[in-house]
Each structure stands twice: as C-alpha cells, then as structure tokens.
Structure 1
Amino acid sequence: MTNSEKKKIVIGSLRQETNSFSPVITYEKDFLVCRGRDVLQQTPVSRILEEAGFEVVPTLWAYAIPSGKVDKKAYCRFKEIIMNAIPKDGSVAGVWLYLHGAMNVTEIGSGEGPLVEEVRRLVGPKVPIAVALDFHANNTEQLVKNANIICGYRTAPHTDEEETQERAARLLLRCILENVLPECVMVCPPLLFPGEMITTEVDPCKSLIAELKKAEEKQGVWTASLFGGMPWCDAPNAGASVVVCGPKGCKEPTDEAKRIADLFWKEREKFGFEEKAMSPEDAILWAQEREASPIFISDSGDNVTGGAPGDSAYLLSLLMKHECKNVLVAGIVDRPAVEAFYLSAEGEEKKVKIGKSIDSKSTETEVTGKLKQKGFIERGGSKDIRFALIAVGGIDIILTDERCSFTTQKNIEETGAKIPDYHAIVVKLGYLFPDLRRIAKDSVMALTPGNCGLRIEDFDFKNIRRPMYPVDKNFDWKG
C-alpha cells in the first residue's frame, strides 16, 4: 500500500521555549493540554488535511510559556501520550508536528530531536514527517535527519504562526500524493543573537528571509527556513541554522543551505537593536522627556516571553527613585503580594515586599500600595491567574500570582488599567509585540539585568559550540 492509498495523518504539538538560565523548572501542571478531539480545535491545519481526504488522528496539543528547563517526567509523559495515540496497523500516511525547536529537558537535553526520532522509529522510514517550528528554534541533527519537511516562522516578532503550520501541512500532502520522501539539510553558522537583534522587518534579516524565497525557486528545493535560535539556552545546539528540504539526491538543498548560511555569517556585524536600547536609568529619563504618550519601556532582562521569571522589581525601584508619575508596570509576578492584597478591600493600603518571589537573584523592593482592582486574567481559555492592580504614588503596578506576559492592549486592560491613563508603560518584554507596537508613540528597551540580558557575551556559557559569535570574536567560518 502506497502512502497515497493510506488514509490517516497523525497530528500533534508539544511546545515550550527553554531559558536554561532561569531557575524555574517547567512541570506538567504548567502546560495547557488538549487531548482527543480537542486537539483539532487547536490545530487549524486539520481542516486542510481532512479536505484532502484524510482522517486526522489527534494525539496531543500541549503548550507552556517560555521558562526554565522542562521536567523530564513531564516530557516523557507527553511523549508517551503521543506515541500511544499513533496507529500501529500500518494505516498512517503521514505525520504533522508543531514544535517550538528550543525545548530543553532535564537530564535529556533537546526535546524535539528525541520526540521526532521516536515517532520515526514507530511509523518507519517510508512515512513522511513534517514539522513546523518557531523562528527561535535551536535545531539538532537528530531532528533534521528524522524529518522530511521542516518549516520555520519567517517573522520575528511572530505573525505567521498559522501560515507556517499550513505550509508544513501542504508539503506533507505533497509528499504523500507524489509518493516522495524529501530530506532536510542543515547548516549552522556559529551565531548566537538575542531575538531583539534579529528581527525580520529590517535588514539584514529582512534580506535573508527574501533569500529563502529565491532558494525555493530552484529545482530540487521544496522549502527553505532560517532560524535565529534561542540564545539563553546553554546547550550544544544553541544558535542559528538554515534548513533546506528537497528530494533525496538533489544537490540544490545543500548548495542553498550553504549559500544562505554564508550570507548570514557575512552580515553578522550588521545585526543590532531595531528599537532604541539604553541603560535602565537613561531609559526612564528618556521616557520622562517624551511629550507624546504612551511610551513603552521594555524591562528586557526580565523578559517573560524569553523565559525569564518576571519577578524582578529592579526597574520599579528606579521608577520610584525618580518619583515618576503616570506610569504603569505590567506586570510583576509575586504570589505572596497578590495574596496579601486579595485579603484587602479596594482602596485599602498595605505595605508589602515586591520582587524576588521566584528567582533569588532578582531584585526586591518594599512599597506601600493602595489596591485599585483585583480579579482574574484570562489566559488560554481558563481564568486561573489572579491579579492585583495597586497604586504606589504615581506608579500603578499589575501584580500576578503566576508568570504571564502582557503583549496586547487587551492583556493589559483586562486588569482595569487603561492605557490612555498613562504616559509610560513598562512591560517585561524585549521587542514590542505587534499590537503594542501599533499603539506605542515611542518605545525603548531598558538593558536591565536578568536571565534574558541582551549582552549575550556577558553570560557564562559552558555548553555551547565554540567559537560562537559574538561570544567569541576574530575567527573565520564557511558553510
């Protein structure tokens, strides 16, 4: 029976981006999990596969926000769920997986490689496997040699998640219907940039993304992807990569992967911050001098979307020192502080310590805050994150009892804080996400300390490949 005669396509997703410098282990309870038919609701590409005449077999959809390493027990449990759901009767025509690419598991290392390798072992060498990945994936040879199709996001900040998943699905269908098993070729230039230095809307990365489309015009190339990598993961696979896929025996995938990787390396010194970046105090003073509002200040070292804990009061302490007014800090995770204010009535004042609730290396400060509002923040369809909006002088602070990121206007305003009421808004991000960028009159990244510090060369790496730019300088490389 050929793949085109089989009628089942297996789908699954397991995503988490690991910051190995964060002390926060990611346990099973930290994942949003769907199983069975609920997986289809989270996976729009299932419709494409069904319309092509295939029965979609859902396995697992699990997602956790960026954080520290994934607990081995949780990872093995999720992997087991996926494996158990895959039919063993030879009816599988193809496998579609949506992974991050930068998951790191305690005692194991990269999470994606072993998962795809085990799927391959189960379905055999003749069933195509397509994988959709984040732009910040830290890819491994183990992953690449076991997948037939690899498609990465082409935007950072990310706006093409669904498009990337769909591209992987359509190429999987092509594999099945044409009865072709492509191979993936990976070339890894020794580059380790924070995402804030490698955004796709500006050069040199914008031009590199355009080269992917040129590569795909070549005969023998089915798809090409460029990955910036996840720099705050001290692992042998950390860093940039170029992956090109095409039919076995074609030389074009290798040629194009090397060509684009060489261009990536050649442009290394041109990568820089798209947004303004300053010392924390300079960022605060700069924001105070702006006439237009709102001004956004990114607390970049404690960037929750990069896996930092989000519990540092470092920037808050500086705002208080400078007696800033009309400022919102969105937000700081501190469960004890939230619990203290949950026992208060609105308008009541309380003295609490804020910060350092997760990471002992974070900054703590004491405040006397007045409760303005309390409630729940909706994340992922479940209202399970408590918040307290408090006022400390001219500064409002959103405190949460769980780590979460504020990446949209809706995220912020569901706490009762209204953006037009503030001159400056502090967010625990690096670059601004599209919705906040749209409403910002201006923005600046404060180069704060933390697990997502933007000076990569200051981190104590022990496991990355060496030499690695910009940790190392003055060396040559060619793909």
Structure 2
Amino acid sequence: MSRPLRVAIGGVHIESSTFSPHRSGAADFEVTRGQALLDRYGWRGEPWAAGVEWVPLVHARALPGGAVEPAAYEAWKEEIVRGLAEAPVDGMLLDIHGAMSVAGRQDAEGDLIAAIRAVIGSGPLVSAAMDLHGNVSPALFDGCDLLTCYRTAPHVDVWETRERAARNLVEALRRGGRPHKALVHVPILLPGEMTSTRVEPARGLYARIPEVEARPGVIDAAIWIGFAWADEPRCRGAVVVTGTDARAAEEGARELGRAFWDARDEFAFVAPAGTMDECLDAALKDDAARPYFISDSGDNPGAGGADDVTYALERMLARPEIRDGRVRAVYASLFDPEAVAGLEGLAVGAPVRVRAGGRLDARPPGPLLLEGTLEALADDPDGGRVASVRVGGLSVFLTSRRMQYRLLESYRRLGVDVAGAGIVTVKIGYLEPELFDAAAGWMLALTPGGVDQDLHRLPYRHLERPIFPLDPGADFDPRPLTG
C-alpha cells in the first residue's frame, strides 16, 4: 500500500438498565477527542501498530446508568459519522460496551454501526472491542468484521481486549480480504453475579477460548454473557468466532455455544445470597468474619441502578446493634446531590438532620431521615462532593454524582478504613478486586432496584422468548449466522 493504513477510533461506552428510572445524559459521560483520545491507547507504540495513522473521532464513556437520552446519543453518532466522512479510512476500531440502551430504540449499537456503514461503505473493516456483558445483535454482527470482548469478570483485561481488537484489525488489513465470522446465539439470560470467571462454570467456559483461538484458521473467539437488565430482543448469550477459514470459525462457534448451553444449570451466585435481613443476620453473628461485606445488588450503579434506593439502608438502621453503636458499619452509598449540598458549611462533628435517597428511584421506603453527626466532607474524582453522616455505629456515605464504592481509597477519603469496620454494605454486585481481597466474609443481598438479581421479578415485554431460566421450554439452536 502506497500510504499508511488509516484507522479511525471512536464509540459510545455504557451499559444501560431499561428498568432504572435514571436517564444518562451528556453530563454523565467523559468525552475525549483528538490527541487525548489517542493517548488512551498505549499500544499505538507497539511494533504491530507501526505505520498506522490513527484517526481520533470521539469517545464517550459513562458509569452504567439508565437509558441514554436520545439527543446525547444522536450528537455523538453524528460526530462519528461526520469525522468518517471527512477522513476516509481503511478501518475503524469501535470501542464500545455493547449494552447501551437509548430511549426509544431497541438496538443502539446496531443503529450506530448502520450509521457508520452508511458513510464508509462496505470496503473498510470494522473491529469492535466490547464488554462480555454486552449484546451481539444480528445488526451489529452484520456491520462488524471482527468482534471481541473481555474474558474476565471482574474485568481485569479491559485494555488487553482493546489492544487485541486493534491488532486483529491491523493484521487483517495487512493480510487483505475479509475475515470469516460465525455467530451463535445462546438463549440464556443471567446476571453477571452468576457468571464470574473467578468460579465455575464460567471459569472453565472462558478457559476454552485460548484453545479455540489457537486453531489453524481462527483469529479470535469470544463469549458474551449478555446483559440481563435491558428489555430488548438482542439480550442473550452469544459466541462469535472469526478467522481466515470459514469452517474453522463455524466449528469453533458451535462448540463454544454448545458448551455455554450445556453449563446452564451450573450457574449460581458467586457468593451466598439472601434477603437483606438474612445477610444482616449472618453479618451480625458473634462469630462472623469481619469486615463482612454485603452487596446491595439490586441498586448497583455499576450495572445501571439509580444508586439511591434506600431499602438496604433502612434495613440496617432497623438493627439495634447498629443504631446504638455496638457494631461499626458502613453504607456506601446514596446518590443525593441535594442532601450533600445541604451539609456544606457545617463543621465536622456538627449535628445533622438530612433527608436522603429515593429521589430518582422511589421504591419503598423512599427518602430516609438521617439524624446524626457530620463525619466527613470530601471531594471524590468519581462521586464529586461526598459526605459521611454518622448515625449510631453506621457511616452513611452520600454523593453528588452516582458512583460505585469499589476502591478502598474512596472509603479513606471519608475517613473510613474498612479493615476496622464490622459490616460494609456497598451498592455493587460481585466484589471488585480490592473489596474482594479486603472482605473476610461476604453475602449478596437480593435487594430491589433497577438491576434486580431476581430476573423473574422484572417486567420483560420485548425480550425474545423462550429463554433460560425464565422459560422451561427454551432450547438451543447451534446453527451459526455467518458472514
């Protein structure tokens, strides 16, 4: 080729619960363009990337939330399309999550790839890097030439996945021709908290990927768990294998799809699970290991919850051991910028009386009155202005931005060392690495919210049925969709 390869980079990265009343607007996203966008990808200096001209478009990324406001999505889509029209490319790295919902649409990523193809045509190759909790719709599969996703949950291979997607793309462009690809949908819908790669069967299932990927004629193999908290037809498990040999890709996809389906009855929660009261009963036993973590999983902002359901907090405050200070506990957290603003100007140690939570997702018990003392005020890079209100033995964290308390430094900003706490309730699903290592005991509370772990309680209307475990008649069709 007489000129360097030109590869564009862009995308919109968010997972969205359609069961959450929250709406994700432009202000919720971190948006990068130009050199700042290119600087995200350290592998541009690797030997395989030499001689490639990388063309930054726009990348928007947000904490999981509710459906994206249409105006925000349309603006970023138009910016991507406009950039591609102005700078013809040989390929594109589509850096997305794969479970974005846009209010009024059923397949946001399918719509995005269709808009991209409308301007670049069928010639350039497109490689998508995704979260394994994304969805692969027929439209997304049709519009992309290469698709890959994370192979770990919790996700410790995010940047490795993006590099793999980019490297596969560059190598395919240099090789010439189009990769063969095969998609097998697996009619399974499970919460991520049942599919952690720390434990079986997901650990063994994902361990099969390198062997398939190493076969002659195979470029990449990927398994998507799918996203359980969106009511859309595309939400289900998927396997995609790409390669230089069509038969090898199809056989690999069928094999991994069958392995996923055959393991369906083995999936279970990654920790003992129960109601919030059952979790508290276990945590308050005299012989309970401390710190004892409880996942307030139904309102997990890391999966799209509104982050202000007060159910778990109300159950904690109902326990006399916590109210009177015999047990040191932490609740992280409630999103309530109004409550945080009301604490500004107060001295640490001042008495406070503040109503918090239940403003976005008003499930019972709704806003709670917290009467105690101001323990700390701080600035957090994720949560904005944050506060801790002490009620008896319980520190209640309040934030001005939705955030997930997954890093120990975030607790320390509010003066809390979790090692000294008896109970830590956190709005999360499976524990992220730092919390997992800190926890001496752990249970998953099946609490209400926009990302309720009990999928039978969610009012699905658009999901493609039958699907396991919601429908006893679900069955697996191993025939792949090819391209």
TM range (shorter): over 0.9
Confirm or deny that 1:457 pairs with 2:448: no
5+ long unaligned stretches in structure 2 = 479-483
Give the CA RMSD over aligned residues. 1.7
Q: Distance in 1 between matches of 2:44 and 2:330?
A: 41
Residue among 371, 377, 381 paired with 1:368: 371
| Per-residue deviation, 1:439 | 1.4
Equivalent residues of 2:276, 2:446 under 8 A apart: yes
Q: Deviations over 1:330-354 (max 9, x none)?
A: 1111222212212422211122222
Q: 1:305 aligns to what? A: 302
Q: 1:142 aligns to what? A: 139
Q: 2:240 aligns to what? A: 243
Equivalent residues of 1:147, 1:183 under 8 A apart: no
Change (3 A) 1:476 1:398: same
Change (3 A) 1:89 1:330: closer
3-state DSSP of counterpart to 1:399: strand
| Per-residue deviation, 1:475 | 3.8
Equivalent residues of 2:331, 2:397 under 8 A apart: yes
Q: 1:41 aligns to what? A: 39
Equivalent residues of 1:8, 1:54 under 8 A apart: yes
| Per-residue deviation, 1:47 | 3.2
Residue among 144, 150, 153 paired with 1:153: 150
Residue among 381, 385, 397 paired with 1:378: 381
Q: Which amino acid aligns with 1:183?
A: H
| Per-residue deviation, 1:199 | 0.9
Change (3 A) 1:70 1:48: farther
Q: 1:17 aligns to what? A: 15
Equivalent residues of 1:126, 1:181 under 8 A apart: no
Q: 1:79 aligns to what? A: 77
| Per-residue deviation, 1:17 | 0.3
Q: Distance in 2 between matches of 1:117 and 1:395?
A: 51
Equivalent residues of 1:311, 1:362 under 8 A apart: no
3-state DSSP of counterpart to 1:77: helix
| Per-residue deviation, 1:291 | 4.3
Equivalent residues of 2:288, 2:441 under 8 A apart: no
Change (3 A) 1:203 1:420: closer
| Per-residue deviation, 1:392 | 0.3
Select between 81-90 and 439-448 the one with higher mean Cα deviation. Answer: 81-90
Q: Distance in 1 between matches of 2:474 and 2:9?
A: 43
Q: Which amino acid aligns with 1:400?
A: T
| Per-residue deviation, 1:50 | 8.4
Q: 1:195 aligns to what? A: 192
3-state DSSP of counterpart to 2:229: coil
Mapping 1:67-216, distance limit 5 Å: 67-86=65-84, 88=86, 90=88, 92-216=89-213
Mapping 1:257-272, distance limit 5 Å: 257-272=253-268
Q: Deviations over 1:25-63 (max 9, x none)?
A: 111111111111111122334334884111111111211
Q: TM-score, normalized by length of structure 2?
A: 0.94
Q: Distance in 1 between matches of 2:394 and 2:306?
A: 22
Q: TM-score, normalized by length of structure 1?
A: 0.94
Residue among 25, 28, 51 paired with 1:27: 25
Q: Which amino acid aligns with 2:433?
A: P
Equivalent residues of 1:377, 1:415 under 8 A apart: no
Equivalent residues of 2:379, 2:385 under 8 A apart: yes
| Per-residue deviation, 1:376 | 1.3
Q: Distance in 2 between matches of 1:58 and 1:49?
A: 20
3-state DSSP of counterpart to 2:294: strand
Equivalent residues of 2:239, 2:253 under 8 A apart: yes
Q: Percent identity of the aligned residues?
A: 31
Q: 1:56 aligns to what? A: 54
Confirm or deny that 1:277 pairs with 2:273: yes
Q: 1:342 aligns to what? A: 344
Q: Distance in 2 between matches of 1:332 and 1:453?
A: 17
Q: Deviations over 1:319-338 (max 9, x none)?
A: 11112220011111122221
Q: Which amino acid aligns with 1:350?
A: V
Residue among 226, 238, 250 paired with 2:223: 226
| Per-residue deviation, 1:362 | 4.8
Equivalent residues of 1:157, 1:434 under 8 A apart: yes
Aligned length: 471
